[in-house]
Structure 1
Amino acid sequence: MATALLLLLQLVSLASASHHYGGTVSFSYKGRNPDGSFRVDFRNRATYDGCQYSHSWSCYNNNCGFVTNQQRGTIDRSTNAPQFHRQWCETETVQQRKVPTDKPFQMRASSCCWAKTRNRVSGWRLLTQVDLGTRSDTGKPNRSPDIAILPFLRVSQKCPRTYKLMSFDPDGDTVRCRYGNIRNIECSGCNQPSGFVLDQGSCSLHYRNANADPSVFGFELVVEDFPQRPISLSYTDGTQSYKAPLIPMRHKRALNNTYLHGTTPPLSKLPLQFSFLVDPPAPSCVDGLYLPKFVHPTPANGQHINAEVNKEVEIRVRAKASHATLHDIIISGPLNTRKHRSTHGDFVIRWTPGPDDVGDHYPICFAVESVIDPASTKPPPAITYHKDHVHVPESPQSGIYQSEMRCVLVNIGKRLIKSHVTCHESSMTVEVTRSSLPGLHEDHLRLNDPSNTACNLQRNSNSTHIIAVVPLNSCGTQIEEDEENLVFKNEITTVDNVNDLITRNHLLEVQFYCQYPKCGNVSQGFTAHRRNVVVWDKGFGKFTYEFEFYPNSQYRKMVDPGLYPLEYDVTERIYMQIEAKSTVNNTQLFVESCSAAPYDTPNYWPTYSIIENGCTVDQTVQVHPKANPREFRFSMEAFQFIGLHDQVYISCSVLMCEAGSSGTRCSQGCINSPLTGHHTHRKREAITQSARHFISQGPLRLKRLAESTGSPGTFSIRKTAFF
């Protein structure tokens, strides 16, 4: 019975290891321990067809020390694999090792078997070579190159593409990528994939052409670093070793082998293994049609991003595919990297470095995938696969289309600006220590939109801290929404003049946000009656916007603020009034646009338009007679947003003008094109009209929803503060 159980466990173990897609390793020197030993952190990424597996590492040569701490987690997973369980999962295991000496050593992970590969890769062989000798050029221990690639790449058969593998060396060494060439040590069978060209000098992989196949190509690469000039490495036992620069080979095989084995030994040796799937031909090879195309603000490939300890790094990725639907983003990065899709359709990658990451560099790679939208009626365009040959494809096949791969490098430094954010139910309080901002005064600092007096940084600041109490629906606060959270963002930046829209003296940028889990109803802070908006504008002084609801078209008494959120039946008429109160005579109010949204923020998307460019667009809108030029009265039928939202806010963009002055936006009234008038009124804007201001009121709820969900606004929500 025991023998049968052992055999069963061995079979289970073999099966669990039979769907390997690749892996990478890097190491980081973390200093000396009190007993004189060395601490080295290893980061091993492993990709299988499930998240429960990881590599098993053993010492292959010399003294590798032992593990003192270890943590493991999932980086990313996807169902875009074509075989077996039709999924892959990349995990990262971070090991802290205590090594007794700084002499070189090698570690290895090996077992069977890869997923079915086209180039006959059976087992995996990952070899890591570490040398912690003190360098003569830097006076510090040798450091590992930072390497990264997506674990599962795919390309359309007839669409050539170049992949720049992330390879960065913190010592400034020359980094080279080559195919493994020592059988059963650096690679399994060492069979190189066909249809690809590896430029080892730039670590670029060029896909040329290969037949489509449901099996993957298994890539077994080795990444090495070489000094740019001759150096020596000194060890604590008094010995030394010498390292020479790499001498490129003048040979046809130079793209595949940097040097003859043993002639120019590297400082470090790291494995880089991944899978590559060649899909059937896409209807078009033009990026932006079927294949996703990156657009602003997606960072460029190889871009360096500076980060601080305990401050979350946010990488925003935006892509387009006019003939397909963006489906997912594939990422690879350090442990605890997260991804989500924002309200606006952007993909957002987030990661927070810890105190132990100072001085390190972490690559993050990503690619966006799209699928053909079955509902799309757009015909596939003609495409050119080869020079002088145009091919008009048939109906597009169902499949996944992957964008180019991009990688960025996150550099971790110490925290420079001392700041703290506190999240409240309807505002964010940000405190920045003045001593961390030498030479800067709040007169030259501003939030995204300082037009509201509540957004003036001088209002709450003191002698030791610059303090901003930022309403969630004002000061240019932006909102994003995903499946689980609402995120409100703003930032403090430097300007030449606090009222300027641009600056050429950009010295500071403090980004901050609060995250509110969407668990339950909206809190009291979101459902309260909106306060009046007080603004100051050059030429118009200080004035107040009031946005109120009324029970009927008589507009005699506004609805009691204590009754909010207001409840309406579908199609019941809602009466609203916007009024500007000012001591400046001969002025008039103009309502340029109004829309409805689940949240009262100016940039929430999507919204339902009520008024656009001064024109009513909702068919139920009625404009009612006003008592004076600084009022605007209108009404519309109540409606419900389609989806999970049970409330709406009415938000408007308004401005003030000098009454009777020609050429102002107020005098133009309703215009069909948003461009008309922008050009006309800008010449006199500083004299005859104010800036545009955002005001909102609500929320409004349907009576049946209000009755069925109980009393709103009576519970508290969790809040998370971020910088």
Structure 2
Amino acid sequence: MASVGALLMLLPVAWTFANYVLVSYYVMVSCFPNAIIANVPECPYGWEIDQLSLGGVCYSGIHSPGFYRFIIPDLTPKNHSYCGTQSEYMPGKDPKYVFYNSIVSNDTSLTVRNQPVNYTFNCMYRAAYLVNNAVFSQRVATVYVNNGSLGTFRSQLSMNVFTNSKFLYAKDAPYVIDTSEIGSEVFIGIEAKGLSNRFKVVINNCWATPTPYSTDKKRWSLIINSCTSDHTVTIFENAKDSRSMFKFNSFRFQRLEKVSTVWLHCEVQVCDGERLVCQPVICLLLILKVHLGDNTSVLLLVEFLMQDFYL
């Protein structure tokens, strides 16, 4: 996995002891997609490395020139936190995960001669992403993957075209479909690598455009609210694991003779399966809306029955 740059967070901390206010120190934090590294100044207030602990639990500091380094190697260990690391989910239009911990002093001797220290730090990661890809072309296609970003799971996400419904082998770019093969099946897998099984990949929406721009007004929907848009789309697995898969029949946009590439865009979410309900609701209502159109009375009855079913 490609490394990402360090995030310098200046977090002033002041302690009061015996009516004296001491000067501020800081902690330098590097936020990686699957790890956090925190560095504090060497010997803060006289404390040695074996007297400082991560989360008050782990005495795992490493001595580097001028600093003590503490590493959280796994953001999402299953069923427990790593050395007191806590996480919080912040819902909304741009949902996020916040992981936080502290480096604290601890002296078991009878008398304490150093000021207590408590370096608190956190890393914030976005939970929703737009994944773009040139899915297929009648002549040539290029797969675009953005590698590496700070404070995000984005660098862990990839979208690939696979050879068949077993999703074992990804096709090499460029992925070309001859004109005579339009209508053939295209198998798509979206995967988050390097994250624990606690996180699930949820496909919310997928659509295709004749340009690389996801906001292009010329678009064809494939998945809407985690449901297939028509019978040519099949979702094999969604929100159950670190990879979600679906297929659709290849096509081209009409009246655009010079356009040969179809671009696929998917809104996906990284969902914490131990804190949230990641499985999408059943798609019965969406299917009925497609077939019934504006038959409001029937749809209201179906909505009422579905609510009663979930209760």
Normalization by structure 2: what TM-score?
0.41
Specify the structure having the higher radius of gyration (Cα): 1
Of Structure 1 and Structure 2, which has the larger fraction of its residues in strand? 1
Normalization by structure 1: what TM-score?
0.19
Higher-RCO chain (CA-CA 8 Å, sequence separation at least 6): 2
